[in-house]
A and B are shown apart, each in its own frame.
Chain A
Amino acid sequence: MDNTITRRRRHELLIGAVLLAALAVLPLPIHDVYTRNLIIITLLFAGLSQAWNILGGYCGQISLGHSLYFGVGAYVSTLLFVGGHIPPPLGMIAGGLVAASMALLVGWPCFRLSGHYYAIATVVVQEIGYLLFLNWDWVGGASGVYVPFRGESWMNLQFRTAKLPYHYVVLGFAALTWLVAWWIEGSRWGFSWRAVKDDVVAARSLGVRIFQSKMIAAAISGFFTGIGGAIFAQYVGYIDPDSILSGQLAILIALPAVLGGVGTLWGPFIGAAVLIPLRELSSSYLGSSGSGLDLMLYGALIMGVALLRPQGLGSLFKRGDSHARTA
């Protein structure tokens, strides 16, 4: 059947494929390490924010604690690699699964809370996770864990100086999260979740299982966030609670989606493409940690979007109906 929904979805898939091809060749003419690194981090956060969007955007459950799943994924994969010699491509799956379990564990009591209470609970849980890891000596405590170099290979997900392989790893990660979001949009789950987000009472009356919907969304979201954490750990080669479990990171995971358009397929990617380079530039020109000027910049950006484009930057590219959303 040919209609607006299936046509739009096919159209999106085509744009996705073209973009994927473009991003695959993008780093080839770029040899400057700084720029390549910037692109890698941008793609990583595009994928992370898309993972966040699956729960926060489509299902409307705003999490401000996603760095917990990111950190848990990174720790599990890294510790399996360091202690058990388990290759990171497998370790990251384990990390994703543990992160998904954590998301379910947080969801079990917290999804019974409505609206803002869930968001507040996620902040608290993330903070508890941060403190636990900070004081847990077996996982390195505050001094963190170094990922030992065991030779360049895809199996180890380690490459001495080349950035290019990492580019394809994060590109694959971002593409995968996009594809999952695309699939969800067209599936029964996607419809149920958006209904939960718009009106719980109406959704319930139509036979949508509210709690189950939230739990599935949380598990998928947590899984991919954990995978992202594991990739980050291999890329950076060192993890500690401050770099992978902080509240600021949790905000940074959510922000691209908020900026680009919550609950939309392209929002997280557009938001990451704007926010991450801006963050890098502001921290190199204004000085990063301590001064807080870069944080003020985010704040201004969010306020600007909230006032001028509450549907997110992604809506600038849309024709027609989206303009009337504020009515």
Chain B
Amino acid sequence: MKYSIFYKKSLFIYFYIILIFVITTISEASIESDIKNITSKLRCMTCQNQTIYSSDTEFSLSIKKIIRQKLKNNESEKEIMDFLINRYGEYIVLEPKFNKQNLFLWLFPFIILALSLVFFILRIRKNT
């Protein structure tokens, strides 16, 4: 009896989650500018915290040229990123890699969120 209230109200949310997955699948078909995408994730090493996309320094322009060339050679985004990381270090990539060192960074927020929601649901159950 207690559980059905949750299920009924949650049904609503499940519907939307499914809808969003569907949308995401359809979205793959949309066109994105590859250079904008990749350079927005890279740090301009000669600027004060700007992306290569948004900067016009010599360094940024030469990296943009190199990336353009690599994309023409059909290199994947991962290959391009790895190429740059091997030379400039992880510092040049704005998204921290999902490796052992950064595991805490990526998982901690979701773990505390999950834990707090669990406590919250338990409290509600205690109440009803």
Q: Bound pair: A and B?
A: no
